[in-house]
């Protein structure tokens, strides 16, 4: 389904259609959208474009270390119309790569790749508030984390207004097209990039 329109409150609605929250799965948040649909629908300022570039590069970095299968929930203030966010909130649901099938190997792999998996490192480098759920973990942990993140991100913090989220595949499905759509990062006068020959 295409990206839902913002509702009168300036948020992605928690559901669409006449049947309300008891309707079809595709009419409920998180809405399944493509990467390019998300980028085209939410890149309405230079700040947002910069954040989206970081998110797309982080997705590329995840795949480079073997996290090729799964999906991401995009949520937080980035899916609010009247906000100029500082980052993008993303919950990444992944399948373990072949190199990290056991819990011990996964833990070692994550520690060895903190620039891609460390929450503070990812936020600084990519402007992504990065959270994750291991889809190869125990069912109880997966359900509890999903319940927690759904509760955390399905309401606007300031007034507890119910709002929707978006879901995109983790697989590379048009990321380069989305980067091309965003164009290059603008050069800011007086920046290091401007002075580089």
For the stretch 159-179, pLDDT in tens is 999 999 999 999 988 999 999
Share of the chain above pLDDT 70, in %: 93
pLDDT given for residue 188 in this prediction: 67
Mean pLDDT of 64-79: 96
pLDDT at 191 over 60: no
* Helix %, strand %, coil % of the chain (to 5): 45, 15, 40
136-171 in b/e form (b: 16+ CB < 10 A) is eeeeeeeeebeeebbeebbebeeeeeebbbbbbbbe
Share of the chain above pLDDT 90, in %: 80
The CA–CA distances, whole Å, from 97 to 11, 24, 71 equal 35, 32, 14
3-state DSSP assignment of residue 134: strand
Determine contact, residues 74/103, Cβ cutoff 8 Å. Answer: no
Q: Which residue has the tokens 């759904």?
A: 150
How does strand 166-169 pair with strand 31-32? Answer: parallel
6 C-beta neighbours (distance < 10 Å), count = 17
In the structure, what pLDDT confidence band is assigned to residue 46 with cuts at 50, 70 and 90?
A: very high
pTM of the model: 0.91
pLDDT given for residue 137 in this prediction: 96
- Average pLDDT of the residues of the chain: 92
- CA atoms of 144 and 126, how far apart (whole Å): 27
Angle at 79 between CA 53 and CA 146, to 5 degrees: 100
The CA–CA distances, whole Å, from 145 to 15, 94, 133, 156, 170 equal 22, 13, 7, 19, 18
Indicate the burial class of 78 (C-beta count within 10 angstroms; 0-12, 13-18, 19 or more): buried
Mean pLDDT of 124-138: 97
pLDDT given for residue 156 in this prediction: 87
pLDDT given for residue 195 in this prediction: 47
- CA atoms of 129 and 121, how far apart (whole Å): 10
- CA atoms of 113 and 9, how far apart (whole Å): 39
């Amino acid at each position: 389904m295409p990206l839902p329109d913002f509702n009168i409150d300036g948020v992605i609605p928690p559901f669409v259609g006449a049947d309300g929250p008891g309707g079809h799965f595709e009419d409920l948040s998180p809405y399944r959208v493509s990467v390019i649909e998300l980028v085209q629908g939410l890149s309405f300022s230079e700040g947002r474009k910069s954040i989206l570039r970081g998110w797309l590069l982080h997705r590329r970095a995840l795949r480079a270390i073997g996290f090729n299968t799964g999906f991401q929930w995009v949520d937080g203030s980035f899916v609010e119309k009247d906000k100029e966010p500082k980052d993008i909130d993303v919950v990444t649901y992944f399948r373990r790569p072949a190199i990290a099938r056991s819990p011990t190997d996964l833990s070692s792999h994550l520690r060895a790749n903190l620039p891609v998996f460390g929450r503070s490192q990812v936020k600084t480098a990519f402007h992504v508030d990065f959270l994750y759920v291991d889809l190869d973990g125990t069912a109880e942990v997966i359900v509890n984390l999903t319940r927690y993140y759904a509760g955390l991100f399905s309401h606007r913090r300031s007034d507890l207004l119910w709002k929707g989220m978006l879901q995109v595949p983790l697989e590379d499905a048009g990321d380069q097209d989305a980067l091309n759509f965003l164009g290059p990062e603008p050069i800011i006068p007086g920046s290091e990039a401007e002075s580089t020959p």
